[in-house]
Amino acid sequence: MGDVLKRVGTAAVLVPIVLGVIYFDPTPWAATIACVIVGCIGLDEYLRMALPVGDQDRGVLLRVVTGLLGAAIVALPAVWSPGLVLPPLLAAAAIVVGFATLGRPSQLPEAGRHFGVCLSGLLYVPMLMSVLPLLKKAGLPHWITLSLAIAFFSDTVAYFFGRAFGKHKLYAAVSPKKTWQGAFGGVLGSLLATVVVGSMWLQPTLPLVHAVVLGVLANVCAQAGDLVESMIKRTYGVKDSSNLLPGHGGMLDRIDAMVFVAPVVYYYVTLVL
């Protein structure tokens, strides 16, 4: 019960802030800045899990360089065309991270792994988050809210379904507490988001069939995102990505599903709808 109260308390603080960022600023800047902050925190948590960060080596150079590149990957596509800016950004990221790893001669035995960790982190968090400011720039703030609602409802309903009905393990090797019953609850949660919050409220022009298809597709990706982060934490032997958010763990623990949902929503809206 204590963890549930902490989760609710943290959500009660964060939700009004997030909605204010989405709706009170008519320009895309507030949303872009917020995504940069969240993305860079999540990226740094990933790096601190995956790099040998300790008293002897805090990986400051790699973390700062990768964080700056991550901020650029989130922000610059909202300023210029993503197709124009992302290819040179990713090429520059590979080159700059290469120089940064070479600039740590004491860590050369592990430099190749560090190089891969930094590049994978840039794709995993900032690259996936970069679509959210694009929705705001396109005048589609409701779709940002719907993306967040899909991830939140999926996680919340899955949690309660798992506690109430969970018997059959979903993927015990990665996440022992997740069950098929919880996964089914997650699907229902996402459908609740896309049908009720989406087509019946925020997006009344969204056809019901598209709401159902998007809900199921996004939920599959949301649960995959959750499992991927669980896999990463298990690989590096940590329980939470950090203790930043009471009841939730770290920023990456909170956005693990959302970073997989956001691209699905963005490309479904832009390519299908």
**pLDDT tens track for 28-84:** 999 999 999 999 999 999 999 998 776 677 888 899 999 999 999 999 999 998 989
Of all residues in the chain, what percent carry a pLDDT higher than 90? Answer: 83
Domain identity same for 78 and 193 = no
Same domain membership, residue 149 and residue 89: no
Q: Are residues 31 and 162 in the same domain?
A: no
What are the CA-CA distances from residue 122 to residues 86, 115, 143, 169, 195 (Å)?
12, 11, 24, 31, 33
Is there a single domain that holds both residue 82 and residue 164?
Answer: no
180 in the same domain as 106: no
Q: How many whole angstroms separate alpha carbon 213 and alpha carbon 261?
A: 13
Question: Are residues 131 and 166 part of one domain?
Answer: no
Mark whether 216 and 258 lie in a shared domain. Answer: yes
Q: What is the DSSP letter of 257?
A: T
70 and 97 inside one domain:
yes
Range of the domain at 153: 140-273
Q: How far is CA 79 from the centre of its chain?
A: 21
Q: Are residues 257 and 130 in the same domain?
A: no
Q: Is 188 exposed, middle or buried (0-12, 13-18, 19+ CB in 10 A)?
A: middle
Q: Are residues 7 and 92 in the same domain?
A: yes
Instruction: With beta carbons less than 8 A apart as the criterion, state whether 158 and 75 touch.
Output: no
Verify that 211 and 91 share a domain, yes or no: no
d(CA 66, CA 43): 8
Q: How far is CA 98 from CA 73, 119, 122, in A?
A: 17, 10, 13
Distances (CA, A) of 175 to 46, 50, 159, 171: 18, 18, 13, 6
pTM over 0.85: yes
Q: Stretch 157-165: mean pLDDT, rounded?
A: 93
Q: Specify the range with the lowest mean pLDDT, choosing from 3-12, 66-75, 128-137, 166-175.
A: 3-12
pLDDT at 1 (0 to 100): 58
Give how many domains the chain has, as a whole number.
2
The per-residue pLDDT for range 89-128, each reduced to its tens digit, is 999 999 999 999 999 888 888 899 999 999 999 999 999 9
Of 139, 155, 174, the one marking the end of a domain is: 139
